[in-house]
Structure 1
Amino acid sequence: MEAISYERASDVAGAVRAAQQPGTVFIGGGTNLLDLMKGGIARPLRLVDVTHIRGLDTIGSLPDGSLRIGALVRNSDAANHPYVRERYPLLTQALLAGASAQLRNMATVGGNLMQRTRCHYFYDVAFVQCNKRQPGSGCAAIDGHTRMHAILGASSQCIAVNPSDMSVALAALDATVRVSGPRGERVIPFAAFHRLPGERPDLDTTLQPGELITSVDLPPPLFSEHAHYLKVRDRASYAFALVSVAAALQLDGNTVKNVRIALGGVAHKPWRASVAEQMLTGAPLTDATLHSAAAAALRDAHPQRDNAFKVQLAQRAIVRALKQAAGEPGGFA
């Protein structure tokens, strides 16, 4: 076993400085990183513990009405924070749909963003062909069992999906990610934080080397009244999504004023259904408009041999999530 050094950072600047050494990885709750290390997938030479940095474990409103969630806030604390529950119910629902209560009590918001795929070919090092583990080695999943894999945005290099429930809600809510690195601070729109696989599936995010996530910022709440997170999975307890939908609406009577739709379990990153949003905005909320928008959201899908069912499943999930967000689960005219 390779030796691993450990350092506890006391502030953001110190953590960033420590991360300039090759082979350094930040550790927070460790709920995913430690699994990767035990499986021989992640082999850091140095761990920088960021859990004692003050100010990154708080939730607070900003002068413009937006909300800042520190990167070290535990998933359970974020889900149960009164302001989040009241103003951003979509985020609360997504967090509570993810993992077990024990894991939520350990996992951090920043760490959740950095989760790696649960593709079984990635996790099993016996499969030497995995471009996420070893760039250029190939993708064993493409010719393997593909039931859990991507139907949107995949490439010939990788068909893995992002596992995070929280990230699907954040994509729908137009969150931003604040990071600090060797070149200072910057803000990343959530849509640009995670990457599609392309030719470099080993890169999950657009973070630069040595950058540390410090917070996730949510814009002033627009969807406090009509929001729903729907997760379709093989079992209700502690399973990753086959398909998930984060749906949020602003309504004027039965007319859609504003809508956000993001999908999980279908792509290498949370997938924003922008075409469906455009079709629904200004339209009456009817079964016909919902089904047309859902079909449009999946028109570019390219399923694999074992997951063609996900196309129709995702369409139905979009319709159901929007109906439940609107408070009309029984249907429309």
Structure 2
Amino acid sequence: MRNFDYARAADVDQAIALHARAAETVYLAGGTTLLDLMKLDIMRPAHLVDIHKLGLDQIELPGDGRVRIGAMVSNTDLARHAHIAEHYPSLSEAVLSGASTQLRNKATTGGNVMQRVRCGYFRDGVSPCNKRTPGSGCSAIDGLNRNVHAVLGGSPQCIAAHPSDMCVAMVAIGATVELQGPRGRREVPLADFHLLPGDTPWKEHAIEPGEMITHVTLDAPMPGSRSAYLKLRDRGSYQFALASSAVIVALDGQTVRDIRIALGGVTTKPWRAANAEDVLRGKVVSEALIREAAAAAMTGAQSYGQNGFKLLLGQQAVIRNLSRLVA
């Protein structure tokens, strides 16, 4: 590991000021991704600003039906919070499906939103990787791409799948990322916060230099809804999704009054499957309709060889989850 300077901020303003003092400065939250990448010599910050003591570790209920989550709320505290477990079960299930108990105790909401991809070519430090070294190429497209590579949202520059379970559930729910930086405070819808790779895969987030996440605010729950998160993977613990879905559905009898579907594991960012929702909304639910919606969710998917099975597995993530919810 390379040498670096360390400073602990006492409040948000001080954290932003410390970050602005020098280039190559990074905010340190839970560190479960950052420290790993520093040890691998993939990220090389010269300065770390510790934001543990900023009072951003609370879950607030403003009274308007929404929930405001501090960036430093641990994954464990988020998943186990009584209001989250009752009113946002898909989010609680998504968080608990990720990593291990020890990592969830340390990992944070803001850090989860900002976590980086698990592509082995990105992390090995030597293979051509446009995300790590712009213009060098993408080794995954013709290489080993079975597990953590996407079939939706990729480009000739990058096909690394987004790793977060939490963000998939939040995109289905509807959420807003609150940012604060040298130019003040602003909000970005979570659906727009993560960027498609396109021609600039090294630009992963809609965040400006010096900005930090302070909160993530969830939309109010869909009235009369039920929800679930389904994660499909090779083994039952401590593994990233091959395909996943977060589904929120409200029924009037057997008619779909409203529906939200988001995908993970098969996509380069948390993916709202609006076309699948359009197939279902206002229709009487049936096995045939669910399969039609699942196929619509994977519209535009492209196989890169070893990950071709995800074209059907992504459909199964929708079919199994939605079928269980409407049974």
TM-score by length of 1: 0.96
Q: Which amino acid aligns with 1:130?
A: C
Deviation at 1:298, TM superposition (A): 1.1
CA deviation map 1:285-324 (0-9, x unaligned):
1101101111111121111111111011111110111122
**Partner residue, 1:23:** 24
1:87–1:223 contact (8 Å) kept in structure 2? no
CA deviation map 1:189-242 (0-9, x unaligned):
011000000111111111111111001101111167411100000111100000
2:228–2:246 contact (8 Å) kept in structure 1? yes
**Partner residue, 1:98:** 98
SS at 1:198's partner residue? Answer: coil
Cα distance in 1 for residues equivalent to 2:182 and 2:126? 37
Q: Which amino acid aligns with 1:279?
A: V
1:223–1:249 contact (8 Å) kept in structure 2? no
Residue 71 of structure 2 corresponds to residue 71 of structure 1? yes
**Partner residue, 1:331:** none
**Partner residue, 1:315:** 315
1:79–1:92 contact (8 Å) kept in structure 2? yes
Q: 5 Å matches for 1:185-200?
A: 185-200=185-200
**Partner residue, 2:142:** 143
CA deviation map 1:136-195 (0-9, x unaligned):
111111110111211011011001011000000011011111010111111110110000
Cα distance in 2 for residues equivalent to 1:154 and 1:193? 17
Q: 5 Å matches for 1:23-172?
A: 23-54=24-55, 56-127=56-127, 129-148=128-147, 149-172=149-172
2:154–2:197 contact (8 Å) kept in structure 1? yes
Deviation at 1:29, TM superposition (A): 0.8
Cα distance 1:223–1:161, how it changes in 2: closer, same or farther (>3 A)? Answer: farther
Cα distance in 2 for residues equivalent to 1:142 and 1:175? 32
Q: Which amino acid aligns with 2:45?
A: P
Deviation at 1:2, TM superposition (A): 3.6
Cα distance in 1 for residues equivalent to 2:174 and 2:168? 10
**Partner residue, 1:254:** 254
1:195–1:203 contact (8 Å) kept in structure 2? yes
Cα distance in 2 for residues equivalent to 1:244 and 1:85? 19
Cα distance in 2 for residues equivalent to 1:88 and 1:297? 22
Cα distance in 2 for residues equivalent to 1:39 and 1:156? 26
Q: 5 Å matches for 1:321-332?
A: 321-326=321-326, 328=327
Q: Which amino acid aligns with 2:135?
A: G
Structure 1 residue runs without a partner (length 5+): 329-333
2:225–2:251 contact (8 Å) kept in structure 1? no
2:227–2:325 contact (8 Å) kept in structure 1? yes
Q: Which amino acid aligns with 2:139?
A: A
Q: 5 Å matches for 1:167-316?
A: 167-222=167-222, 225-316=225-316
Cα distance in 1 for residues equivalent to 2:159 and 2:204? 13
2:294–2:319 contact (8 Å) kept in structure 1? yes
Cα distance in 1 for residues equivalent to 2:42 and 2:182? 26
1:86–1:224 contact (8 Å) kept in structure 2? no
Cα distance in 1 for residues equivalent to 2:123 and 2:235? 21
Aligned residues: 325
1:88–1:224 contact (8 Å) kept in structure 2? no
SS at 1:231's partner residue? Answer: strand
**Partner residue, 2:11:** 11
Cα distance in 1 for residues equivalent to 2:153 and 2:126? 26
Structure 2 residue runs without a partner (length 5+): none
% same residue: 51
Cα distance in 1 for residues equivalent to 2:118 and 2:58? 29
SS at 1:318's partner residue? Answer: helix
Cα distance in 2 for residues equivalent to 1:48 and 1:299? 42
2:142–2:304 contact (8 Å) kept in structure 1? no
Aligned-residue Cα RMSD (Å) equals 1.1
Q: Which amino acid aligns with 1:236?
A: G
